[in-house]
Amino acid sequence: MSLIDSISLPRSISLPRIDGLIQWIVPLAIIGIWQVASVTGFVPTRVLPAPSDVVLAGWKLLLSGELVRNIWVSFWRASIGFLIGGSIGFAFGLANGLSQLSARLTDTTLQMVRNVPHLALIPLVILWFGIDESAKLFLVALGVFFPIYLNTLHGIRTVDPQLIEMGRIYGMTDGELFRRVIFPGALPSIFVGIRFALGIMWLTLIVAETIAASSGLGYMAMQAREFMLIDVVVLSILIYALLGKLADSASRVLERLTLSWHPAFQKR
């Protein structure tokens, strides 16, 4: 048995049903142990509520409609912020990857701004926008901008120059060259940026909602903390984790669909 069995082995006999289940064994075991530890009093419920209590709290909030409303608000902020920051980052990445002039004009500036941790701007952002929606959107967009910008730029710059020359030899116009050679070549790197950005998106949102919000999951957690509702606090954290996982899975599915040519995605 080799230790490194996750790499290659394209023809190994896979058992999809067991493969699908295998990843859930550890999380389920942890929940089981956690439940037992709480019920037996090994872990005091003041420190960590039992999973069953968390589920119960979730159920109550679901019935009152509060849970769905807060999730929806957070989800909305995350998506809009991501779209704004992502599109601007993508646009700058394209411009600076394709045009020397544009790169010389803006790249240094952007690289300098990148060195400011965007969460350090929270006090300033609150002064500018208050605890308005725009404050959260601004922070998420700013956080998402850089990974998308950097990876789009990197992806475009590292497209095989031999392929670009080939495209020119075969008479592709600039538009065709972009559509058929440059963009597909940059796509794997763009996806790396997207997945990075998704992580930053949730992180930014949690911090922003915890500090300056009157709705959303982070706000729900902070409210619960004031009333010592530890089960709701834990619930909010778990929902964040779940949303993060969902976003990541969605980007993976998209990646798998668009990069089906890539050898890494061809293990059928």
- Interface residue list for other proteins (CB under 8 A): 162-163, 165-167, 169-172, 180-181, 184-185, 187, 259, 261-263, 266
In the structure encoding, which two tokens stand for residue 121, read together? Answer: 């701007």
Shortest distance (Å) from residue 95 CB to other proteins = 23
Of residues 150 and 159, the one with the C-beta less far from other proteins: 159
Shortest distance (Å) from residue 165 CB to other proteins = 7
Closest alpha carbon to 243 in 74, 106, 100: 74
Is residue 157 within 8 A of residue 100, CB to CB? The reply is no
Shortest distance (Å) from residue 184 CB to other proteins = 4
Of residues 48 and 163, the one with the C-beta less far from other proteins: 163
Is residue 251 within 8 A of residue 198, CB to CB? The reply is yes
Calpha distance 70→115 (Å, rounded)? 32
Of residues 55 and 163, the one with the C-beta less far from other proteins: 163
- For 7, 13, 17, 55, 246, the CA distances from 20, given in Å and listed in that order, are 18, 14, 5, 24, 16
Shortest distance (Å) from residue 115 CB to other proteins = 35
In the chain, which ranges are continuous DSSP H helix? 16-22, 25-39, 51-64, 66-98, 100-114, 122-129, 133-157, 161-169, 174-177, 183-211, 217-226, 230-258
Of residues 215 and 258, the one with the C-beta less far from other proteins: 258
| Per-position DSSP letters for 227-261, written without gaps between them | TT-HHHHHHHHHHHHHHHHHHHHHHHHHHHHHTTT
Calpha distance 150→90 (Å, rounded)? 9
Of residues 168 and 245, the one with the C-beta less far from other proteins: 168
Of residues 117 and 171, the one with the C-beta less far from other proteins: 171
Of residues 182 and 200, the one with the C-beta less far from other proteins: 182
Shortest distance (Å) from residue 8 CB to other proteins = 13
Shortest distance (Å) from residue 152 CB to other proteins = 17
Shortest distance (Å) from residue 131 CB to other proteins = 45
